Amino acid sequence: MGRIAIITDDPGWHGKQLTQAFAKLGFASDFVSLTDCRLNIESGRIPVVIPGFEHELPGAVFVRGIPGGSLEEVVFYLDILHALKLLGVPVYNDGRAVERSVDKAMTSFLLHQAGLFTPMTWVLRSSADAFNIAENELKNGHYLITKPLFGSQGEGIRRIEKMTDLFWLTPSSGVYYLQRFVRCAGDGFSDYRVFVIDNRAVAIMRRRGKSWLNNVARGASCEAVDLNPVIADMAVKAVQTLAMDYAGVDIIQNSSGQYVVIEVNSIPAWKGLQSVFQNDIAALLAEDLVDRHINRKNRFNVTAVSC
Ligand SMILES: Nc1ncnc2c1ncn2[C@@H]1O[C@H](COP(=O)(O)OP(=O)(O)O)[C@@H](O)[C@H]1O
Ligand SMILES: [Mg+2]
């Protein structure tokens, strides 16, 4: 039975949870950094070289983290994931899914195209146009959020609230990602994180931010709430739109009661969610990967041989 490669530079709590969950299913796993992987394009050799898997490719790959870097470095890391998939190795979530969701512009575009409620968003290069959009939004009584295209855990996100804040309106790596701020329903600040695995919403929590930034990494607290069918349905549709095996979906309920999808994470952390959820999330992920991608594949292979 092939060992599983857990792609991460920082195994930590999540790495331990996954290792234990795979072990319970009879699979050994190893941590691998994409920075140590190579493409060896020579005849007669496995073209993707992963430390510890030089003689046999992994039975599956669980993507827990992709290092940052230059565009070329990130493209290369994704090349490794794409190549593994093309070589028949299940990659969970695969490189295409990671690509679509790491890029906030493409996520917003795809969500909107699929008819899901997502905030008005503008992505552009021109400073003059960015200032015009921001000024217009402020004049019409809206706050504006600016985000880095490739960002996570609330890093680099700013809120433009008044004309003098326009001073802070700068592009991130040359690109403006501007989004209308959604005022949330209820007291204070909160949003929902929904965990979807294999097209099913399996867990939810409310994140209550110290400010409008509701990331757990920014100090938001986690509260258990019931999963209502409207949020569940929206989260599942968002994940289907981005074609992911599993994801963490950020949803805000606006002051009119409408749910709005903010983000779909293809490499979500779940430590906060686990603290308010009874079932073992790592086990659910490991079971899904093994069931749908390893066992099913093996079943098909056996059928093919016996035909
Ligand atoms: N348009 C928005 N309106 C209101 N709050 C937002 C908006 N966009 C982001 N936020 C807040 O900022 C947090 C982080 O934004 P998000 O787009 O999820 O980026 P990240 O990848 O950094 O988590 C969200 O969870 C939410 O609390
Ligand atoms: Mg988020």
Long-range contacts, stretch 44-47, CB < 8 angstroms, 24+ apart: 46/87, 47/83, 47/87
Q: Evaluate: CB of 213 within 6 angstroms of ligand 1.
A: yes
Shortest CA distance to 160 belongs to which of 108, 212, 220, 207? 212
Distances (CA, A) of 302 to 58, 289, 293, 299: 19, 19, 14, 5
Q: Which of 252, 254, 255 to mutate to test the pocket of ligand 1 (most atoms within 8 A of CB)?
A: 252
pTM score of the predicted model: 0.94
Please give the Cα distance from 56 to 87 (Å, whole number): 12
Per-10-residue mean pLDDT for the chain, 307 residues long? 93 98 97 97 92 94 95 96 97 96 95 98 97 97 95 92 92 96 92 98 95 90 95 98 98 96 97 96 98 82 50
Q: Which domains does the chain have, with CATH numbers?
A: 4-92 (3.40.50.20), 121-180 (3.30.1490.20), 185-283 (3.30.470.20)
pLDDT digits (tens, 9 = 90+) for 257-270: 999 999 999 999 99
* Residue 212 near ligand 1, beta carbon < 6 Å: yes
pLDDT in tens, 3-16: 999 999 999 999 99
Angle value at C-alpha 205, between 200 and 208, nearest 5 degrees: 150
Residue of the CA atom closest to atom 8 of ligand 1: 262
- Residue 102 CA: which ligand is closest? 1
